[in-house]
Amino acid sequence: MMLAQTLIDCRCPKCKKGSLTLDESILPVISKDVTDGQEIQEALLHCEYCNTLYPVVAGVAILVPNPLTYVAKNYSLICSLASQYISSLMFDYWSKHLGIFSENNTSSMDWNYDDPLSLSLYIFAHYDKITEFLDLNHPLRKLVDDEYGDWYERLLNLAKPYLRQQPKVLDIGCNVGGLIYRLAYLSQFVYGLDYSFGSVFTARCILLAQPCLQNIYHLHIEGVTYQERPISVERPNNVDIVVASAGNIPFELKYFDLVTAINLIDVIPNPDCFLDNVDSLLKNQGIFLTTDPYYWETDSSAIEQWIGGRPNMPSNEAMRTEVSKRFNLLEEQDIVPWVLRVYERHYRLYFNHHLVAQKR
């Protein structure tokens, strides 16, 4: 967690009122000097209003309303990725507050975003170049031609004409951070948030080299075979990424010039309420960029919550209607191919609906 900026901009995700300060009454703060300021490697953050304590673990701030439950549910994962960066005092604190718990981290979702295969799949999608990777005579090359180019950059191009100079940006559901990377070039500061500890930890390693640099990854070929590939990024100095939930966003209201939610709407429990939250995070005239393939599943949200996907409710029309209730629609593109590579013989092809809208 980058100390100066992030602490100023975060708000308690539980009471939504208090700002967060470093609390040294239970645990000492462990921080280190980095090129552009100070990085908090470990700490407890205290909400001055409701007194909730949020841990920063291996540089990852866990800003969810019930942080101890989050740690309990993700304990094995956190330890497997980051135990070498966690102090014995933090482990003592957890054992005191969590006692003996039986970890229940089985996700009901069909897709586990913390899974190494999922992380590698998204690293490929965000940082590798599918057009260069696929042989020219690969059958997919007809669809993924030079026009397809850099999918995330092309998506961003749709919103660029409407952006203020040096906007403050939030990418919700950022996964391993590829859109944050692209946004950093045109923004004053970019925050990313994701509910998956594995994704946030990986994004911070790639983009900030914190707590360690990740510049290679393993691309799944088939079975147990992998190809080691480089991740080449120029490290930005104006980004931070936290664990948080799209339903309880830990930032000040009316703070952002641009909010992005890419392939997120169909995986969160309450998409309609989420659109209200985006509205309240944006400054007046702020921009909302979203796209989705509307792969609705009851594991993610109740049918009653879906924006479309029901009889007489096509998702594109329903989403356009819901977005238009709160924002002025600026741009729309539908049936845009989005290709996700799973392994050598398995690619997922979605057809996305892009929208750019402006807060009234």
List residues binding ligand SAM (CB under 6 A): 113, 122, 125, 173-175, 194-196, 199, 245-247, 262-264, 267-268
Cβ at position 25, least distance to ligand SAM in Å: 30
CA–CA separation, 265 vs 224, rounded Å? 33
Orientation of helix 197-208 relative to helix 75-82, angle to 10°: 20
Q: Which residue reads 């956190």 in tokens?
A: 78
Q: Closer CB to ligand SAM, residue 267 or residue 357?
A: 267
The per-residue DSSP string of 116-137 comes to HHHHHHHHHHHHS-HHHHS-TT
Amino acid at position 72, single letter: A
Least distance in angstroms from the C-beta of 54 to ligand SAM: 16
* Contact between residue 131 and residue 153 where contact means Cβ atoms under 8 Å apart: no
Of 129, 349, 171, 167, the closest CA to residue 264 belongs to 171
Of 72 and 265, CB closest to ligand SAM: 265
- Output the smallest distance, CB 12 to ligand SAM, in A: 17
Closer Cβ to ligand SAM, 122 or 327, answer by number: 122
Q: Which is nearer to ligand SAM, 207 or 246 (CB)?
A: 246
The amino acid at residue 192 is G
Helices H / strands E in the chain, number of each:
11, 14
The answer to whether the CB of 160 falls within 8 A of the CB of 148 is: no
Of the candidates 243, 231, 187, the one whose C-alpha atom is nearest the C-alpha of residue 207 is 231
Q: How far is the CB of 74 from ligand SAM (least distance, A)?
A: 12
CB of 138 to ligand SAM, least distance (A): 22
CB of 171 to ligand SAM, least distance (A): 7
Q: Give the number of residues written for the chain.
A: 360
Position closest to ligand SAM via CB? 173
Nearer to ligand SAM (CB atom), residue 43 or residue 242: 242
Comparison of 36 and 115: residue with beta carbon closer to ligand SAM:
115
Residue number with CB closer to ligand SAM (52 or 300): 300
- What is the secondary structure of 276-330 as a DSSP string? HHHHHHEEEEEEEEEEE-----TTTS-GGG-SS-BTTB-HHHHHHHHHHHHEEEE
Pick the closer one to ligand SAM by CB: 169 or 264.
Answer: 264
50 phi, psi to nearest 5 deg:
-110, 0
Q: How far is the CB of 198 from ligand SAM (least distance, A)?
A: 9
Q: Which residues of 88-108 are buried (b: 16+ CB within 10 A; e: fewer)?
A: eebeebbeeeeeeeeeeeeee
Q: How far is the CB of 80 from ligand SAM (least distance, A)?
A: 17
In the bound state with ligand SAM, the residue whose beta carbon lies nearer, of 31 and 199, is 199
Asked if 244 and 64 touch (Cβ cutoff 8 Å), the reply is yes
Least CB distance to ligand SAM at residue 180 (A): 10
> CB-based burial of residue 261 (10 Å sphere; 0-12 exposed, 13-18 middle, 19+ buried)?
buried
